[in-house]
Structure 1
Amino acid sequence: MKKTPVIVIFDVGKTNKKLLLFDEQYQLIFERTARFNETTDEDGDPCENLESLRLSVFDSLREVFKKKDVEVKAINCSTYGASFVYIDEEGRPLTPLYNYLKQYPAALQQNFYHQYGGEDLLSVQMSSPVLGSLNSGMQLYRLKYEQPAIFQATRYALHLPQYMSYLLTGVPASDITSIGCHTNLWNFQENKYHHWVYQEGIYEKLAPIMPAAQVLPPLFPGNTYQIGTGLHDSSAALIPYLVCFHEPFILLSTGTWCISLNPFNHTPLTAAELRQDCLCYMTYQGNPVKASRLFAGYEHEQQMKRIAAHFGQATLKYRHMEYDPTLPLKPAGIFAERDLHQFSTDTAAYHQLLFDLAAQQYQATRLVMNDNSVKRIFVDGGFSKNQIYMNMLAMLFTGVEVFAASMAQATAMGAALAIHNAWNSKNIPNGIIELKYYAGGLPIMAE
């Protein structure tokens, strides 16, 4: 039997942990999803079960290697960001995998910003708002001052994607997509680590930076497959678009957070933009990506439940509701503040909710557009499947083509594409992204 050459991707989200196999045409040929129960850290705060994650990597690979019909050419991984694994000289984790939502001590944060120039200056230099533990470099700063013995014993602090790579290669690495994702470690103005990283002795704890296309041999000799160094998930999801489209575009990645990513906007972030929740990510080639965030997916869920309860409907009704362009809309506002008695039907209320969210999204996305060079917006994730939302967005962005983009597992595919040359003998195929164009019409505004 002729074996199919494949790449194995571990795609680790906060909720779902996936193992995926792609063939050389980037067709998804196998997928397994697992969920692990969270454990708690020493303060009783919820955190990832690192041991379950480690064991699942080896267990699931054993399963893959048993398959008679595939030949593993490479392995790579993408995971959520802002999470460090602190390992000792032997490679053993020294602490739990602290949750990036863990409360950050106010006094310690104040000390840091006071010592190194203040929130506004540092936020501009490091291209990130003040986000507490979500600035993962601040977790290292905290470890140094709250657990000095563990900090001392730490040989390397590895971001989670690089820890997963380390499990398979034994080679510690840092990756620019993880370092460049609101970590407070990188000075975007000088394109190097910020001087506080050296001053606090953090630099010695960070592994050498390796390119995203770098592959390493496996820890276990006698195997011929190659292993990537891992990627931050938001940056990985952008890779298929960067590979397939060369004219300026914005990727609007929608989920709980809706993130507008503009890889073609190279103007430095301003303090005003940072105060409006803009930040920079980093592409796998090491270029800054200006981005804005909106908590719109979460808001959609909450308000959809409110509409359903008010009108005595099931929320499932709204998942595939068709767009009705004849329904009058009120001027955009904050839907949470609207009185639902103003709406005669739940359909009218739901259309208004989507219009209000699309209007907020328009403002957030405009923050990173800057000039008129962007002529296309690709929407992926949950909202791309909502035809009411897509029509509302297309209506607001006049002069810009708005597309719903669909692709099997964008994050995992990005991790596979990052090391394409190391495992795939074929050219990257056309058509890995499906696009659906939305033409915007003028809304009927209610009096």
Structure 2
Amino acid sequence: MKKVIAVFDIGKTNKKFFLFDENYKKVYQEYLVIDEIQDEDGFPTEDLNKLQKWLKTSVDKILETNRFDVRAINFSTYGASFVHLDADGNVLTPLYNYLKPLPEKIADTFDTDYDQTTISQVTGSPEAGMLNSGMQLYWLKRTRPELFKTIKYSLHFPQYLSFLFTGKPVAEFTSIGCHTALWDYKKREYHNWTIEEGLTKKFPDILPATKSYSFDYGDKKIKIGTGIHDSSAALIPYMLSEKKPFILISTGTWSITLNPFSVNALSSNDIENNCLNYLTVQGKPVRATRFFLGKEYGLQVKKLAAIFDKSKTYHKRIKFDFGLYQKLKQKTHRFFKFDEIRIDSHTEFSNQDLTIFNSFEEAYHQLMLELVTIQVKTIRLAIGNSKIKKIYIDGGFVDNDIFIKLVALNFPELKVRTTKSPLGSALGAAMVISEKEIEKNFLKSHYKMRKLKVPLE
């Protein structure tokens, strides 16, 4: 039987189950979409019952086939989500959606009790309501105090999935550090406000994501990982493969720029510009920035398709035109009114008449110029004072010829590489609990790495 590591990669929409062989090659995959249910307030939330049944069924099915020798199981999930357990390990509440609005009264109470600005800076967590998962516990304590008292453990989502298989409650650095407002990056421990509120009493001991337990599963012993936050998991293959300082731009609905080589604490200006911290599996800070690239892009492309009478997918075939770039870069004002992205109010804005462009292609190039202008600002903010040598770009926008070439043009002093692997988070979760070292050309062989050179004309 082929020796494999099993990984559950749980996104908001798609639930994925992978098997990786000893060389980190995918040998099996399974996808599932689970419809959301509603919490007690009618807000969409994860269907935990269906999810956990699928987890156990998927593992049992693989073991019964006798095709694979499952040596380990690990979990990668989205962050900022808690599962609250009582003393018997029973789930007490829905898995509250991090998009659920935090009541204004609760936010005001927190601002009265604590210095929000200082906490945001020290915890590397710009104020973001429920997306700061610590605020979910603060909200529960203020609105449902009796329920809060019955909570024995509050587990971040990846660690809850691990708990389903091990029965062992653990906390883990990458989940604690993802914009939770829980972690004091200066003291390298939970922030004082969480201690004062009694939140840390709900948290089990912290274990690194490299830690695993050996458990009897049926008639065989399998290593079970602690679970890991998906963005942090996606960074692992790069950190194991690349020795020189780099940043990773992970593109999709959100564009997240990760810099694991920064040594500077976040300033108040950083926080105001939506700069934040993550934690590596070793508990070291990762400087990061984010903006709603994919969401905004989708909205604007839809508008352009309607104006120029093009199909919904027409934009996918457009390649970078250096002549158009030279023409458009002379313009000093914006033409696109963004719906989801906050723009510097000092930037001059035109009258939004997109029909002044001669073609879809010209308007599309202008759109990408404006989006990449924002992207460049977030990249420079993420780099800070770090001596970065290389930029890796992965995710959905690696297929956007204009996007990647505009990024390269803005950073001629750095090596720019695009990589392509839909398995990034899952692969990182497999690698973090594997004892096998990776070969020197791992990114080239697994990630379809491509070099970009400038000048591009």
After TM superposition, is the score higher than 0.5? yes
Which residue in 2 is equivalent to 1:417?
Answer: 431
- Could you report, residue by residue, the CA deviation over 1:339-387 in whole angstroms, capped at 9, with x for unpaired residues? 2112111011111111211111001110121236112110000111111
CA distance in 1, matches of 2:454, 2:356: 26
Stretches of 4+ moved more than 4 A in 1?
Answer: 332-335, 426-429
Which residue in 1 is equivalent to 2:304?
Answer: 307
CA distance in 2, matches of 1:335, 1:298: 18
Which residue in 2 is equivalent to 1:336?
Answer: 336
SS of 2:417's equivalent? Answer: strand
CA distance in 2, matches of 1:189, 1:113: 21
Q: Report deviation, 1:57.
A: 0.5
CA distance in 2, matches of 1:161, 1:372: 31
CA distance in 2, matches of 1:372, 1:51: 45
- The counterpart of 1:392, out of the listed 397, 401, 406, is 406
Is 1:296 matched up with 2:293?
A: yes
Which residue in 2 is equivalent to 1:152?
Answer: 149
Is 1:122 matched up with 2:123?
A: no
- Could you report, residue by residue, the CA deviation over 1:24-57 in whole angstroms, capped at 9, with x for unpaired residues? 1111111111111100011111111111111110
CA distance in 2, matches of 1:427, 1:274: 36
Contact 1:168/1:219 (CA < 8 Å) preserved in 2?
Answer: no
The amino acid across from 2:249 in the alignment is: L
Which residue in 2 is equivalent to 1:33?
Answer: 31
Which residue in 2 is equivalent to 1:212?
Answer: 209
Contact 1:170/1:219 (CA < 8 Å) preserved in 2?
Answer: no
With 429-438 and 37-46 compared, the bigger mean Cα shift is at 429-438
- The counterpart of 2:452, out of the listed 438, 441, 444, is 438
Which residue in 2 is equivalent to 1:325?
Answer: 322
SS of 1:341's equivalent? Answer: helix
- The counterpart of 1:47, out of the listed 27, 45, 48, is 45
- The counterpart of 2:372, out of the listed 358, 366, 371, is 358
Which residue in 1 is equivalent to 2:105?
Answer: 107
The amino acid across from 1:76 in the alignment is: N
The amino acid across from 2:336 in the alignment is: A
Task: Please list every run of 5 or more consecutive structure 2 residues that lacks an aligned counterpart in the other structure.
Answer: 338-351
> What TM-score, normalized by structure 2, do the two folds share?
0.93
CA distance in 2, matches of 1:254, 1:153: 40
CA distance in 2, matches of 1:442, 1:322: 12
Number of equivalent positions: 437
Contact 2:133/2:181 (CA < 8 Å) preserved in 1?
Answer: yes
Q: Report deviation, 1:417.
A: 0.8
Which residue in 1 is equivalent to 2:347?
Answer: none
Which residue in 2 is equivalent to 1:166?
Answer: 163
Q: Is the alpha carbon distance of 1:335 and 1:71 closer, same or farther for their aligned partners in structure 2, counting shifts above 3 Å?
A: farther
CA distance in 2, matches of 1:295, 1:51: 31
Which residue in 2 is equivalent to 1:266?
Answer: 263
Q: Is the alpha carbon distance of 1:201 and 1:361 closer, same or farther for their aligned partners in structure 2, counting shifts above 3 Å?
A: same
Q: Report deviation, 1:106.
A: 1.5
SS of 2:258's equivalent? Answer: strand
CA distance in 2, matches of 1:179, 1:363: 27
Is 1:202 matched up with 2:199?
A: yes
Contact 2:131/2:179 (CA < 8 Å) preserved in 1?
Answer: yes
Contact 1:303/1:335 (CA < 8 Å) preserved in 2?
Answer: no
Which residue in 1 is equivalent to 2:340?
Answer: none
CA distance in 2, matches of 1:333, 1:22: 49
CA distance in 1, matches of 2:393, 2:438: 26
Task: Please list every run of 5 or more consecutive structure 1 residues that lacks an aligned counterpart in the other structure.
Answer: none
Contact 1:187/1:194 (CA < 8 Å) preserved in 2?
Answer: yes
CA distance in 2, matches of 1:60, 1:341: 53
CA distance in 2, matches of 1:372, 1:171: 39
With 370-379 and 250-259 compared, the bigger mean Cα shift is at 370-379
- The counterpart of 1:78, out of the listed 71, 76, 79, is 76
Q: Report deviation, 1:221.
A: 6.1
Which residue in 1 is equivalent to 2:236?
Answer: 239
Contact 2:174/2:278 (CA < 8 Å) preserved in 1?
Answer: yes
Which residue in 1 is equivalent to 2:94?
Answer: 96
Contact 2:81/2:95 (CA < 8 Å) preserved in 1?
Answer: yes
CA distance in 2, matches of 1:285, 1:90: 31
Alpha-carbon RMSD: 1.6
Q: Report deviation, 1:66.
A: 2.2
SS of 2:220's equivalent? Answer: coil
With 241-250 and 431-440 compared, the bigger mean Cα shift is at 431-440
- The counterpart of 1:252, out of the listed 235, 242, 249, is 249
Which residue in 2 is equivalent to 1:65?
Answer: 63
Q: Report deviation, 1:149.
A: 1.7
Is 1:142 matched up with 2:139?
A: yes
Is 1:10 matched up with 2:8?
A: yes
CA distance in 1, matches of 2:332, 2:136: 39
SS of 1:104's equivalent? Answer: coil
Q: Is the alpha carbon distance of 1:388 and 1:305 closer, same or farther for their aligned partners in structure 2, counting shifts above 3 Å?
A: same
Q: Report deviation, 1:430.
A: 3.1
Q: Is the alpha carbon distance of 1:332 and 1:369 closer, same or farther for their aligned partners in structure 2, counting shifts above 3 Å?
A: farther
With 6-15 and 310-319 compared, the bigger mean Cα shift is at 310-319
Q: Report deviation, 1:440.
A: 3.0
Which residue in 2 is equivalent to 1:368?
Answer: 382
Contact 1:11/1:79 (CA < 8 Å) preserved in 2?
Answer: yes
CA distance in 2, matches of 1:407, 1:82: 24
Contact 2:255/2:294 (CA < 8 Å) preserved in 1?
Answer: yes
CA distance in 2, matches of 1:342, 1:64: 58
SS of 1:142's equivalent? Answer: helix
CA distance in 1, matches of 2:386, 2:177: 26
Contact 1:169/1:219 (CA < 8 Å) preserved in 2?
Answer: no
SS of 1:265's equivalent? Answer: coil
- Could you report, residue by residue, the CA deviation over 1:89-141 in whole angstroms, capped at 9, with x for unpaired residues? 1211001111001110122222223322x222111111111011000011011
Q: Is the alpha carbon distance of 1:144 and 1:84 closer, same or farther for their aligned partners in structure 2, counting shifts above 3 Å?
A: same
CA distance in 1, matches of 2:386, 2:189: 30
